Structure 1
Amino acid sequence: MTSQPTPTQATSSGETGHHAGQDRSRYREAYERWRSDPEGFWEEAAREIDWFRPAEKVFDPSAGIYGRWFVGAECNACYNALDRHVERGRGGQAALVYDSPVTGTIRTFTYHDLREEVATLAAVLQDMGVGKGDRVVLYMPMVPEAVFAMLACARIGAVHSVVFGGFAARELATRLEDATPKLVLSASCGIEVARVVPYKPLLDEAIALSRHKPQACLILQRPQASASLVEGRDRDWASAVAEARRAGRRASCVPVAATDPLYVLYTSGTTGRPKGVLRDTGGYMVALKWSMKNLYGVDPGEVYFCASDVGWVVGHSYIVYGPLLHGCTSILYEGKPVGTPDAGAFWRVASEHGAAVLFTAPTAFRAIKKEDPDAKLLRNYDLSRFRALFLAGERADPDTVQWAERILGVPVVDHWWQTETGWPIAGNPLGLGALPVKYGSPTVPMPGYDVQVLDEGGRPQPPDTMGAIAIRLPLPPGCLPTLWHADERFREAYLTTYPGYYNTSDAGFVDRDGYVYIMGRTDDIINVAGHRLSTGGMEEVLASHPAVAECAVIGVKDALKGEVPCGFVVLKSGVGQSPAEVETELVALVRERIGPVAAFKLAITVGRLPKTRSGKILRGTMKKIADGEPWSMPATIDDPAILDEIGEALRSRGLGE
């Protein structure tokens, strides 16, 4: 490889500092500093990143759809995550700890080790024809090679798109069609608590279904299940890497524009067609690096445990990029909060590796609480170095937060963000000094986010008034600048409802102290254990069954997962099957088409669906009945008696009480 220019060294003002709680007054100061001088605030934050070329403009309002950050700058995310740490003396520090109770494996990679693995794999990608701007889809389990692959793409300027391992073939196919990757990186299998999930058959089926065919696939063979390779298309991962290593092939970091895409991550769309959230390189690094110290309160060299998956935005931001940009040790965990082997799994990992912070979903803690309500297993482990728990993915109910506070004796921070934003919108900034906790609130907006509550006409609402949560444009660095090859869809989905604002599609309020409260969704996206899933997409699957005349899917409250989908179906007349038979087939159909991640286990046959006179199904009212919440008869309902039938059907399944 030809040599590449060396980035200018960061002037690090945040490499060391006070831990949370030593200064309780700096959040308001930081937020007001951002508000009074947004460009100056982010220009200062950008000094924590190494640049091949500095920005010509910190923010250019004329670029992109709502403006772009760090226009004219050149950088490389892999260099900032790995190389600069090696060059400055962190090469021997642990960068990644792979802890896999499902395979009984623990492996540690230093920053030097990780750079060597990534540089070698990046050379393999180049040998397979991948270059700057090409897309690479990763369909991987939680193994170190998934992290190698993400960083290898970043190293050579390729755009990665991680698809959650085990996603159904049809869903994977839609992402292949949209991203049009040159290469797919996958593994022979993933491993769940009690079973092995073969990935390769799903990948082969997805490629067969997709109109776009990748040129090649690189397949990691795991000991738990081998996969057959398609001649002329598939290549064995281990053999390819070994060959490159023998030849001394190592890829250098390729400079890319700060505004160039780092990755595309798909999230559910209300039409059932996934949206490719585009993440740029420079702004994302700046935002993540700022958040690691100021929000999470961790210092370089400390251990950060994010119990998520690289298929989610949380895994992108806080397993891979954030901790490594900051010089932390990041834990890659292949297991569950319970069952691998028990409800003490997180405590074991945090104790054994000396984690300072744990970041996971409220669902995980509800599962731990259910299995070990008195936290007896916690007594087996030394958590003396553990000082904060962060929860995100769905709303953290006060009972779970208070239980976690009680058993852990450390701050428990519920914070709120989205795939689209890439880093938290609101939280309790431990690195700036923790604010008082208000249960049910993810606390306050981070600098960069001007959070407003709007009525249907787009007018700002006074404190403590429910409305649509929106963020005044421009969005801060790190947030999506657009959707992948879908600018107009980006405008329609996020910017047209409230001109001048980004529409979060969440509803809630802001109290008089500036604390944000997120109460629910304003569209048909439901949140199942941290997975945002489209009820519209599930309805498409139900409607495809030959016995179904019409259907509706709603999200109903669930003590463990936050929400679970419930499908109502009206059968065609003359159907020979019993309702119970059809319901069983529908559950299986959703599992096949969307995957087990949907947690779709309840289909209810009804005679009619409640509708307005114009034909709109009253899903909101159905949800209130299912959740046992107060509701009033909609003025526009066509036949009020139908809601009584819906209530009876729900009560027969143990809902609506």
Structure 2
Amino acid sequence: MQSRYFEVYDEWQRDPQAFWKAAAEAIHWFKPPDRVFDEDQGVYGRWFIGGETNTCFNCLDRHVAAGHGSRQAFIYDSAMSGEKRTFTYDQVLSEVSAIAGTLIDLGIQKGDRVIVYMPMVPEAVFSMLACARIGAVHSVVFGGFAAQELAARLNDSEAKLVITASCGLEPGRVVAYKPLLDQAIELADVKPRHCLVLQREQLWVDLRAERGDLDFAEAIERARGRTVECVPVAATDPLYILYTSGTTGQPKGVIRDNGGHMVALHWSMENIFGVKPGEVFWTASDIGWVVGHSYIVYAPLLAGITSVIYEGKPVGTPDAGTFWRVAGEHDVKVLFTAPTAFRAIRRDDPEGELVQNYDLLSLRALFLAGERADPETLKWAEQQLKVPVIDHWWQTETGWPIAANPLGLDLMPFKHGSPTRPMPGYRLEVLDDMGHPVTPGMLGNLVIKLPLPPGCLPSFWNADQRFRETCLSEFPGYYKTADAGLIDEDGYVFVMARTDDIINCAGHRLSTGGMEEVCARHPDVAECAVIGVNDSIKGQIPCGFIVLKNNVSRDEKGISREVAELVRNEIGPVAAFKTVIVVPKLPKTRSGKILRGTMQKIADDQPWKMPATIEDAAVLETITIVLKHNGYAKEARGSSS
């Protein structure tokens, strides 16, 4: 059976405005839009001009009004504490209304900014929805984020309130949030009026009345039972600000609007992910990232689906079978996570023995996104789960998939290493550095022809000019994804690397992703990364880092030689691939992205800054020592400041 994708994509191409107008009919509007799209509004145009709506109403109230209040909205499963709770749509609406009433009592009004600095607990999600209910703009900052980075976000957003928790839970440790928040407030020029603090039993903290600290549970209890109506907002009003990871200096706040965001996410839930109302969908991520915003919170609720809120890791809580436990126990139909999670699971359980311990008959598909999904990891997941494993590609800036294989429209044939084809709304092209189209199969800059579809960012927070310069100026008429890749003769997209990760070796443009693909084929390799390091003759040469599977006891030097030979045989001598270093771990952000840029700066003796989103700073210290031992990072000029 041919995928309905081609019919739907052609429908969008013929009349984009009619396509999105029809999609918008699934959303409740207090006032319908006057125009579907106005190219003269905003930086590149705005969607659903004149429309008034409310995201919280669409997520909760309309389902309750339709008689679905008893349907499960959330399943909370904490592998850290062992706690499990379920919430119906009725119960979530009650909790959200109480929090919204508290926000109003604290003087929060439509348009005010609220920072949510919390772990993966239901109260964090309810707080996001409460902000949406009263028209306030939330900005979720990953719990445990460094104080100076949190201070920068306080300043940029001018937040009036912070909602936080006493602590977060990591394997083997409790992370105290309040000292980090207190330090951030000391550093910030803009001070919040109040801090609502959720006390967790693992750590109780002292509250400072002089700073406006309030106990979350006590404050919410005082507002419980109140009726707080949803505040109508313009479709173009901001729902949230999300600061992208790895920013330095002035933070880069991605804005998400209300109208276009809901239309795109609702459409994607059924058509891309193939999940229907009442079914269980699990996005194993964190609300600190865009994936959590879109597919833990908003998209599932908009579509009347049950979403899993998971507090834990893919391994170590307690083992590499925890994902299978959660999926089987809660009847998960579709799982969505990052490739790095599956690489960690594969490293700890290379034969997939733990998969056999759980009933996964209800699982229909696995979606992977967040960084490039290497073919070997995809194949391993397919072998273990016996379901389609679907790579898809998108960004914080877009808010929903750019390219995917849409399960809800009947799948197309798979090509490992490709997120398949552009979704409706995205006209994707590949340009060279001069802005000229390249021939099919050639590596270049992946760009999206303007206008961006509903759901994508309209701009950066208070920084239209920066948005133009960063995303729109280099290729006029296009949005620059900053990803390098190709589109083959069949129209399949291959995202090979960030443009910063393309190596120029003796005049040849080489993809780190292509070399990593080959490295990952070695049977002893669990994870890998390739960076380009300076070379006086060739300009740059590749340097590979590999993490071995847990059961490997062979000579590491021999494995390194075999990996280098694989790359030379596959890509050719032009790659000049000789150095392969075995390391215990790769440095990553908390969202699973490998810090290739930082590794490259260390190798090239360039000044570097400890990334704010790093998962384990000690791993970078190990990388520095290993690089020095191998003749790089001679001056050790890195700085963790």
TM-score range for the pair, normalised by the shorter chain length: 0.7 to 0.9
- Residue equivalent to 1:600: 620
Q: Which runs of 5+ in 2 are unaligned?
A: 503-511, 514-530, 532-539, 548-585, 637-641
Q: Which residue of 1 aligns with 2:299?
A: 322
The offset of 1:601, in angstroms, is: 2.9
For 1:569 and 1:388, locate their aligned partners in 2 and report how far apart those are by CA, in whole Å: 40
Q: Deviations over 1:411-443 (max 9, x none)?
A: 000100000000000010010010111011111
Could you say if the C-alpha distance between residues 374 and 458 of structure 1 is closer, same or farther in structure 2, counting changes exceeding 3 Å? same
CA distance in 1, matches of 2:546, 2:186: 37
Q: In structure 1, how many angstroms separate the alpha carbons of the residues matched to 2:33 and 2:145?
A: 39
In structure 1, C-alpha distance between the alignment counterparts of 2:167 and 2:317, rounded to whole Å: 18
Residue 252 of structure 1, CA deviation: 1.0
Determine if the alignment matches structure 1 residue 649 to structure 2 residue 628: no
CA contact (8 A) 1:556 1:563 kept: no
Map of 1:566-581 to 2, 5 A cutoff?
A: 566=599, 567-568=601-602
Corresponding residue to 1:218 among 185, 193, 196: 196
Residue of structure 2 equivalent to 1:386: 363
Task: Spell out the pairing of 1:79-158 with structure 2 (5 A cutoff).
Answer: 79-158=57-136
Whether the 8 Å CA contact 2:365–2:389 is kept in 1: the answer is yes
Task: Note the alpha carbon deviations across 1:257-288, whole angstroms, 9 max, x for none.
Answer: 00000000001466543200000000000000
Equivalent position of 1:410 in the other structure: 387
The answer for the alignment partner of 1:469 in structure 2 is 446
SS of the residue corresponding to residue 590 of structure 1 reads coil
The answer as to whether partners of 2:604 and 2:633 remain within 8 angstroms in 1 is no
Structure 1 gaps, min length 5 = 1-22, 528-534, 536-551, 573-585, 607-625, 627-644
Cα offset, 1:378, TM superposition: 1.2
Do residues 240 (structure 1) and 271 (structure 2) align? no
Contact 1:159–1:263 (CA under 8 A) maintained in structure 2: yes
Hey, what's the Cα distance between the residues in 1 that align with 2:543 and 2:68? 47
Deviation per CA, 1:533-563: give whole Å up to 9, x if none: xx9xxxxxxxxxxxxxxxx9x9975656563
Q: What's the CA shift for 1:224?
A: 0.3
Partner of 2:405: 428
Q: CA deviation at 1:603?
A: 5.9
Q: Give the alignment partner of residue 270 of structure 2, picking from 293, 309, 312.
A: 293
Contact 2:159 2:192 in 1 (8 A): yes
Matched, 1:230 2:214: no
The residue type equivalent to 2:109 in the other structure is G
- Code of the residue aligned with 1:491 in structure 2: it is R
Distance apart, 1:524 and its partner CA: 7.4
Verify the 8 A CA contact 1:157 1:255 in the aligned structure 2. Answer: yes
2:478 to 471, 488, 501: 501
Asked if the contact 1:33/1:41 (under 8 Å) is kept, the reply is yes
Query: In the alignment, is the contact (CA less than 8 A) between 1:167 and 1:595 conserved in 2?
Result: no
Residues 594, 210 of structure 1: alpha-carbon distance in 2 compared, 3 angstrom cutoff: farther
Report the equivalent of 1:563: 594
- The Cα offsets for residues 576-624 of structure 1, whole Å up to 9 and x where unpaired, read as xxxxxxxxxx99x837x66546653346489xxxxxxxxxxxxxxxxxx
CA distance in 1, matches of 2:31, 2:401: 27
Q: Is the 8 A contact 1:568 1:605 kept in 2?
A: no
Is the 2:369–2:391 Cα contact (8 Å) retained in structure 1? Answer: yes
When the two structures are superposed, what TM-score results if normalisation uses the length of structure 1? Answer: 0.80
Partner residue, 2:45: 67
C-alpha distance in structure 1 between counterparts of 2:305 and 2:250, whole Å? 37
Change (3 A) 1:192 1:52: same
Give the secondary-structure state (helix, strand or coil) at the position aligned to 1:338.
Answer: coil
How far apart are the structure 2 equivalents of 1:555 and 1:331? 39
Report if the CA contact (8 A) 1:508-1:518 is conserved: yes
Change (3 A) 1:413 1:99: same
Counting matched residue pairs gives 553
The reply to whether residue 160 of structure 1 matches residue 138 of structure 2 is yes
Instruction: Give the residue type in structure 2 aligned to 1:293.
Output: E
Structure 1, residues 493-522: CA drift from partner, whole Å, max 9, x if none?
Answer: 000000000000000110111111111112
**Aligned counterpart, 1:266:** 243
What's the secondary structure of 1:368's corresponding residue? helix
Task: Flag the 1:649–1:269 CA change in 2: closer, same or farther, 3 A.
Answer: closer
Tell me: CA distance 1:300–1:558, structure 2 relative to 1, closer, same or farther (3 Å): farther
Q: Is the 8 A contact 1:49 1:286 kept in 2?
A: yes
Whether 1:480 aligns to 2:457 is yes
Alpha-carbon distance in structure 1 between the residues aligned to 2:55 and 2:423:
23
Q: Which residue of 2 aligns with 1:184?
A: 162
2:330 to 342, 353, 357: 353
Between the aligned partners of 2:21 and 2:263, the Cα distance in structure 1 is 9
1:155 and 1:555 map into 2 onto residues whose CA distance is: 50
Distance 2:426 2:24 in 1: 17
Q: CA deviation at 1:104?
A: 0.8
Counterpart contact for 2:245–2:613, Cα < 8 Å: no
C-alpha displacement of 1:141: 0.2
String of CA shifts for 1:363-386, please: whole Å, max 9, x gaps: 000111111111111111111111
Distance 1:44 1:570 in 2: 53
| 1:192 to 1:555, Cα distance in 2 relative to 1, 3 A | farther
Q: Mark the CA change 1:368 to 1:569 in structure 2 (over 3 Å): closer, same or farther.
A: closer
Give the Cα–Cα distance (whole angstroms) in 1 for the partners of residues 133 and 613 of structure 2. Answer: 32
SS in 2 for 1:70: strand
Q: Is contact 2:426-2:448 (8 Å) kept? A: yes
Contact map agreement 1:24 1:432 (CA 8 A) in 2:
no
Quote the Cα distance in structure 2 between the aligned partners of 1:646 and 1:522. Answer: 29
Which residue pairs with 1:510 in the alignment? Answer: 487
What amino acid sits opposite 1:460 in the alignment?
P
**Following the alignment from structure 2 to structure 1, what is the Cα–Cα distance between the partners of residues 389 and 545?**
23
Query: Structure 1 stretches (4+) deviating beyond 6 angstroms?
Result: 524-527, 569-572
Structure-1 separation of matches of 2:91 and 2:187? 38
Query: Does the aligned pair in 2 maintain the 1:46–1:286 contact within 8 Å?
Result: yes
User: Quick one: distance in 1 between partners of 2:58 and 2:105?
Assistant: 24
CA distance in 1, matches of 2:31, 2:267: 20
Match of 1:56 in 2: 34
Render the CA deviation track for 1:36-60: whole Å, top value 9, x for unaligned: 1000000111111111111100001
Counterpart amino acid of 2:189? R
Please say if 1:37 is aligned against 2:57: no
1:89 Cα offset (Å): 1.4
TM-score, with structure 2 as normaliser: 0.82
What is the deviation of 1:337? 0.6
User: Once the 2 structures are TM-superposed, how far is the Cα of residue 34 of structure 1 from its aligned partner?
Assistant: 0.5
Residues 269, 275 of structure 1: 8 Å contact kept: no
Q: Counterpart amino acid of 1:265?
A: L
Q: Distance in 1 between matches of 2:317 and 2:613?
A: 25
Are the counterparts in 2 of residues 123 and 244 from structure 1 also a CA contact under 8 Å? Answer: yes
Residues of 2 paired with 1:524 and 1:206: CA distance?
A: 33
1:421 counterpart SS class = coil
Q: Is the Cα–Cα contact under 8 Å of residues 27 and 432 in structure 1 kept in the other structure?
A: yes
**In 1, are the aligned partners of 2:43 and 2:459 still within 8 Å (CA)?**
yes
The 3-state SS of whatever aligns with 1:160 is strand
Give the partner amino acid of 1:648: G
Structure 2: how far apart are the matches of 1:336 and 1:267? 22
Deviation at 1:570, TM superposition (A): 9.0
